[in-house]
Amino acid sequence: MGDYKFARDKLADVLTSLKEYQVFAPAAVGDVLRFKEVTDPANVSLDYDNTTVPPKELMFPQTETLFKYRLGSTEVEPSVPDASKKRMVFGIRPCDAHAYSIVDNLYGWDFADPYYQKRREGTTLVGLACAEPCANCFCPSVGGGPASEKGLDALMFDLGDAYYVNSLTDKGEEFAKAAGLEAAGDADAKAAAKQGEDALKKVARSIDTAGIPEKLPSLYDHPFWEQFSDRCLGCGICTFLCPTCHCFDIQDEAEAFDARRARMWDTCMFSEYSLHTSGHNPRPTRKERTRNRISHKYSYFPEKFDVIACVGCGRCINHCPVNIDILDILDKSKQAEAKEAKTA
């Protein structure tokens, strides 16, 4: 759609002009970056690699009330977010936007999940292309890229003195209008395109995913998983920081007589996750859990929604304390000798 631009020093003004939006942008909490609601546009900066915690929390908060009720009563009051309230994620990286478009499949599948979807509908995603990909990015290998438009309503390029904005949807157009952006010239468009191509070249890591989804199930009993699971801590870093991981737990909580049913992030890396009340656990050790995590992203999910549930943002690699490197695993899986998985 439209090509726009705004001067670097106008960033604050642009944000200020987005009155009718609740705007979220990367902000520093101590040493870590996280998407926060913009309170003072003046100290928003877009000079960042990527946030530690992905913006998935904006659609799928770590803890979310499903409904409230009084103990003893049978009236429940759902707390579904209001879609009419316009929100904007400003400066989101293409990989994280891509993640939304993947997870949409799951939340749209069969029973629609109103909590997630209402937020999605009401939210405009203004992306920021990566000029300098990080060390462990591999977005191009999984259908994304430093300037991928997937899932975005608009995509910004940092051209130094100005930001070039390419609106991709009506929502994107609305944003451009609301922000009163000036039209951009061909030069800018070219510069942006150039930046995109260069960035693509700079992406250091990659994996050829061809054949992986079909092969993984055949490696079900393969010992190669243990090379990784043996040092796995079974913590939730890889999954909690993954923009496409979407699993959750549901629990009832009560304060005196006010109670709620809430859902909170859960992870297949915890043993409680799949533990039966009987004490039987279909995934008794980290081997099965690691296998499930990888297989889910690269086999089960594609089998269901034929898209790989990974956007190559590299978070799980960057933050894994024991260097369990998903690219390494996939690589090994390709070398691994397929064995006929034994069944009952």
Partner 1 sequence: MSEEFEPNIVAFLCNWCSYAGADLAGTSRMRYLPNVKIIRVMCSGRVNPLFLLNALQQGADGVLISGCHPGDCHYLEGNFYARRRFMLMRKLLEHVGVDPGRVNMSWVSASEGAKFADVVEETVAKAKEAGPMDQFRRRQINW
Partner 2 sequence: MVDEKKLQEKARETLIRDDVRRLIGWKRGTYGFEAAPAVVTDASQAEQLIFDATCVANPASFIAIEEKKPVPRGAEPDTRKVAVMVKGCDSRAVVQQLVEKAYAREDVVVLGIPCLGVVDRRKAEKLFGQTGAQVSAKVDKEKVALDIGGDVKTVDRSNILMDKCLRCRYPNPLVSDFLLGEEVEKWADDDFADVDEFEKMSPEDKWKHWDEQFSKCIRCYSCRNVCPMCYCVECVVSKLRPQWTRRSTDISENTVYHVQRAWHLAGRCIECMECQRVCPVDIPIMTLNRKMTRDVKEMFEYEPGVDVEAEPMLACYNPQDPEEYIM
Partner 3 sequence: MMDESNPYLPYIVNIEDARYETPGDRAIKTFRVTFADDKVWDTWSHSPGNCAMVGRLGVGEAMFCISSSPTEEGYLRFSIMKMGKVTRALHELETGDTMTVRGPLGNSFPMEEWEGKNIVTVGGGIGQAPLRPVINYVRANRDKYGELQVIYGSRTSEDLCFQDELGEFMTESGTSCHLSVDVEEEKWPHFVGFVPNLLMEVSPSPENAIAVTCGPPIMIKFVTQNLLKLGFAPEQIYTTLEERMKCGIGKCGRCNVGHLYVCKDGPVFSYETLKKIPEAFA
Of 241, 206, 145, 239, nearest in space to 331 by CA? 206
User: Does the protein bind partner 2 through residue 183 (CB under 8 A)?
Assistant: no
Counting Cα atoms < 13 Å in the Cβ hemisphere of 342 gives 3
Q: Can you tell me the distance from the alpha carbon of 51 to that of 34, in angstroms, rounded to the nearest whole number? A: 5
- In the complex, least distance from residue 269 CB atom to partner 2, rounded to whole angstroms: 9
Within 258-287, the residues that bind partner 1 by CB under 8 A are: 258, 260
Verify binding: residue 120, partner 3, rule CB under 8 A: no
Dist CA 99 CA 94 (whole Å): 9
Q: Which is nearer to partner 3, 284 or 321 (CB)?
A: 284
d(CA 129, CA 192): 9
Q: Does 78 bind partner 3 (CB under 8 A)?
A: yes
Short-list 310, 223, 234, 246, CA closest to 270: 234
- Selected from 317, 330, 333, 336, the binder of partner 2 by CB under 8 A is 317
Q: Which is nearer to partner 3, 4 or 60 (CB)?
A: 60
Which residues between 128 and 147 bind partner 2 (CB under 8 A)? 134-136
**Complex with partner 2: residue 80 or 327, whichever CB lies closer:** 327
Nearer to partner 3, 120 or 296 (CB): 296
* Tally of residues, the chain: 344
Q: Which one of the spans 60-68, 110-118, 171-179, 267-275 is the region binding partner 1 (CB under 8 A)?
A: 60-68
- Which amino acid is present at 213? P
CB 162 within 8 Å of CB 5:
yes
Q: Strands across the sheet with 63-70, in order?
A: 76-78, 63-70, 258-265, 248-255
Binding residue (CB under 8 A) for partner 2 from 35, 240, 298, 301: 240
Q: Is 328 near partner 2 (CB under 8 A)?
A: yes
From the list partner 3, partner 1, partner 2, none, partner contacted by residue 273 (C-beta under 5 to 8 A by kind): partner 3
Pairing outcome for strands 162-167 and 76-78: unpaired
Please report whether residue 68 would count as binding partner 2 according to CB under 8 A. no
Q: CB of 106 within 8 A of CB of 305?
A: yes
Q: By the criterion CB under 8 A, which residues form the site for partner 3?
A: 66-67, 69, 71, 74, 76, 78, 80, 106-107, 109-115, 217, 220-221, 246-252, 254, 259, 261, 263, 266, 268, 273-278, 280, 282-283, 288, 292, 295-296, 299-301, 303-304, 341-344
